[in-house]
Amino acid sequence: MVDERPDYGVGLAAGPAIGSRVAGYRLERQIGTGGMAVVYLARDERLGRPVALKVMTPAMAADERFRQRFIQESRAAATVDDPHIIPVYEAGEADGVLFIAIRFVSGGDVGSVLRRAGPLPPARVVHIVSAVASALDAAHAAGLVHRDVKPGNMLLDSRPGWPDHVYLSDFGLSKVRQSGRLTGSGHFMGTPHYTAPEQITGQTVDGRADQYALACATYEMLCGEVPFADQEGWAVVSAQVNNPPPLLTASRPDLPRAVSDVLARAMAKTPEARYQSCRQFAEALRDGLGLASPGAGSVSTPPAARPATPAPSAPAPQKRTGTGRRRRPPRHRRYLPIVLPAAAVLAAAAVTIAVLARPAGHRPAALYTRVSAFTAPRPAGIWPFVSSVAFSPNGRTLATGLTTETPAGPDNSGATYLWNVRTGRRLATITSAGGPEAFSPDGAMLAAAGGLGDQRLSRWDTATRTLTRGPDDDQDAAIDSAVFSPDGKVLAADLSSGVIDLWNSATWKSLRLIGGPGPSVSTSAAFTPDGRTLVTGEDTDRVFLWNWATGHLITQLKCPGNLQITAVAVSGNGATIAASDQNGATCLWDTATRRRLAVLTDPHSYGVDSVAFSPDGKMLATGDSNGHVYLWKLPAGTLTARLTNPRGQVTSQLEGEERTAVSSIAFSPGGDTLAASDTDGSAYLWRVR
């Protein structure tokens, strides 16, 4: 019943403990993490100054070639003399720990500004581009190529009464990342939406590849989205190599046509057709925008308190009809790097660390950083996918349900995996499970359904680590969702036959069956926090509210679109109900007045599969069939981020169908982390606070 074999993989960045010392630096708090490094705010005890200390993961530090190249390139970057290259104080190894100490920058990064404010004023864009161009030209003169220029690597040092000072970060480290000797012949790492064609195809790369990336970032700063924003995954790579640069003025008709010409030259497919230097590109950009040139050798100063130029109004999204959908992505998103071999594309994860200051008494802006991955075993000959995720009430354990499927359909051999969230260690494997899971409010019990096609619930005692199988209540119905009442005494199981079965969670006694009126069939369920009302989604466009104790239908709510409700959720204070549907919309209602508050729609949606409120009710997450998670700020209903699991599209073994759906999402009890399922057999954690 319980399999303890360590036949799994966990991609979890780990580092020294807070309060410990690394080479004379005392670690004060963790401010970023990724697959290669953990970043700390540290105190240089010798000089008494704060630094950002990047500590490489043990796996990286154990690689002799990586260690040598890392130190070599970091020290080379430290010798480049330019005021816009982030100062490197020290790089080396201490007691087996590989580290680099750089200046701690207090204003965040340009990528964060774009996600918050949208397109930037042209004068501010020129200010940033001119500074980055200065840094790049200085590095190129010293024989260094950055290879990962993007807004997330442009740091802003903000001080009252002064314009932002711009730094370019990750010099040296980016080049080490992409050494063919380190990653395999013909492989390099970069971010596809900013990567030059010659870098993708494995040709010789020089400073003109950085110019191409800077032009892509400039396009994004001016119009709020990257070039080729309507492409995903491999299509982005193909577009960078083959497609002409998009016309900037098509999105920003208020800007001079000359700006499009400048960007087209900087994004030319062949390096020879681009500008001779990044500074030359920056000067051409200034002229194209019709801005006055500052004194020689200086950069323009953005007007104080000048508001950001709003993004142009997008056309109203088209409703999903089942035969087609509008393919325009959201304006603001986070783009994750992937590994790109010379002849193919392999998805992986690399996190760019944005060093953010934390004002006293406040938490930093959302980093939206992927912090870990939990990967279950992949048996040969089948297609495994994670169908559910759930946090324990104390946030220390993550349950992931793995369903396995063959060309003949679900084989019912799924399993539920329990993981230590902090260390990534597997705690237990519950076989003959893998379907929806739910922890009881006290954390003493985990209810786990069988994999797709299995209709029985199991009850896992977290203290004794024993499993009790529930009765075979409905031989013809699988379990689509499971949820405990707030007091933990009632367990609701949503059966695929269309009814909700309510159980006494201690005795397995069936209390009541609840079903929608007429032909309606239940698809999902959630309790209100007071435990009196059960909310169910139906295979119509309706949401039903029930007095579950009596079986009385209280009322029904309608979501526009006339397509099946796929998931329901209730906010922690019980004030708001959310329901997602196959039309790509998520509806919000006031629980007391039953008034519809908003309809959240992403025009790029394939249909929303899962929905979850953050514990404080200030954020709503939706998991989409297109493989992305969308974060919405409440009560305004503003889209703040689009998270992409690193594997992206995964081709299943089912008639060549590409499956990307995020079928389950869950916030941690503290609300700072979001778990998302994926169809590659992994569940991912994202830092969202």
Listing from the earlier edge strand, what are the strands of the sheet with 522-527? 522-527, 533-538, 542-547, 552-558
**Active-site pick, 44, 109, 137, 148:** 148
CA 263 to chain centre: 29
Tell me how far apart the alpha carbons of residues 538 and 544 are, in angstroms, rounded to a whole number. 8
Q: What is the DSSP string of 205-240?
A: --HHHHHHHHHHHHHHHHHSS-TTTT--THHHHHHH
End-to-end CA separation in angstroms for the chain: 37
Tell me how far apart the alpha carbons of residues 498 and 540 are, in angstroms, rounded to a whole number. 12
Tell me how far apart the alpha carbons of residues 174 and 197 are, in angstroms, rounded to a whole number. 18
Longest dimension (CA), the chain: 82
> What is the total residue count of the chain?
689
Query: And the tokens for 648?
Result: 């992206």
- Contact assessment for residue 50 and residue 41, using Cβ atoms and an 8 Å cutoff: yes
**Phi, psi of 123, deg, nearest 5:** -65, -40
Burial of 525 per CB tally in 10 Å (0-12, 13-18, 19+) = buried
Pairing of strands 596-601, 409-410: unpaired
230 belongs to the catalytic site: no
Which residue is it, tokens 């919309």? Answer: 585
Q: Report whether the peptide linkage leading into residue 58 is cis, meaning its omega lies within 30 degrees of zero.
A: no
3-state SS, one letter per residue, for 494-549: EECCCEEEEEECCCCCEEEEEECCCCCCEEEEEECCCCCEEEEEECCCEEEEEECC
Task: Kindly tell me the sign of the dihedral angle through the C-alpha atoms of 315, 319, 324, 330.
Answer: positive
Query: And the tokens for 320?
Result: 């999903």
Alpha-carbon distance values, 273 to 213, 222, 269, 393 (Å) = 15, 23, 8, 58
Element (H, E) at 174: helix 173-177
Closest CA to 684 of 436, 450, 348, 443: 348
Burial of 656 per CB tally in 10 Å (0-12, 13-18, 19+) = exposed
**Which residue numbers are catalytic?**
148
